[in-house]
Amino acid sequence: MREIEFKRWMRRGTRDVSYSAKTIKKTISQLKFLERKLGVNLDIVSLEELADKLADFEDSGVPVKTLNNWIKYVNRYLAFRGLEKLKYRPQWQNPDVFFYVPSDEDKDKILSVQWSRPDVHWRNHCILLVLFDTGIRIDELVHLNWQDIDTAPDGTLVLHIRHGKGAKQRIVPIHPQVLKELYTYKKYYRIDSDPNAIFTTVHGRLGYNYARNLCKEAGRKAGISQFHAHAARHWRAISWLKQGINLETIRRFLGHANIKSTAVYVRWMEMQDSFTELHEKDKTFGGWARMGPEYLNELKEV
């Protein structure tokens, strides 16, 4: 693999939007893995040989989702070589949407979590506040600088998201009370190891994995084991929908390229309404009870 040339191509490319540094790093890593896994040299391998190799792995039981993920990365290199792309495997799409969205009660419990050190507590609390308030991604959060705080022409307080998915930028509103707590954190508790970064450790800007792990820690402390950083984004989207916010507005603030990605939250709400109707109306076997994952785990252990 011609790594240096490929990196340059990805930075410059022939597209309207070039790949971000994070995506380039991930792509190179995955392609090196796939050269070993498939036993090929991506500079000389033919489309027919690649297709045969993938078919062998498909026959061996590799999930379609995994195969399509491999194809995504290989296709980037094929485009660099000026070749046709491999076709993705057809994948059954489940129209019903299941993913964890914190309830308002869950959100309040998570925001009430305490850490023993004041500097750590205020930083972590503000991280959770910003995630719930704005719905930004965790990677976008760790790249925030103090200079990214601004006001829109109408006076709305906003954050400039300069490291969005696909290297896209946008602005998102931030509540005045959240911003007030951010500046309290900055004045009294922030570790000044990076003059620009909002969220820091003693070593500098807070890292992606560090932030993800502290969100999981907050969930454990709150007794909500399924909580993770992206769940705060889910809560924000559903909260906006419940308040009647237009889907296009939600798409813009979440940074979705396609409104189909935002519409998944509409389907989630419709699914919840269906379950609620079932619980309220179906009394065939004495009614339904909301048992939760703990009950299922108990049954599995019997």
Give 144-153 pLDDT, tens digit per residue: 999 999 999 9
- Is the model's pLDDT at 219 over the cut of 90? yes
Each domain of the chain, given as residue ranges in start order, spans 3-81, 104-260
* Closest listed residue to residue 79, CA positions, set 112, 42, 111, 122: 42
What are the start-end ranges of the H helices in the chain?
A: 3-12, 21-38, 47-59, 64-81, 104-111, 118-134, 138-142, 176-188, 208-221, 229-242, 247-254, 259-281, 293-301
Report residue 200 as tokens.
Answer: 């820091």
| Residue-wise pLDDT tens digits, 174-195 | 999 999 999 999 999 999 999 9
| Residue-wise pLDDT tens digits, 109-142 | 999 999 999 999 999 999 999 999 999 999 999 9
pTM assigned to the model: 0.73
CATH topology of domain 104-260: hpI Integrase; Chain A (1.10.443)
Sequence length of the chain is: 302
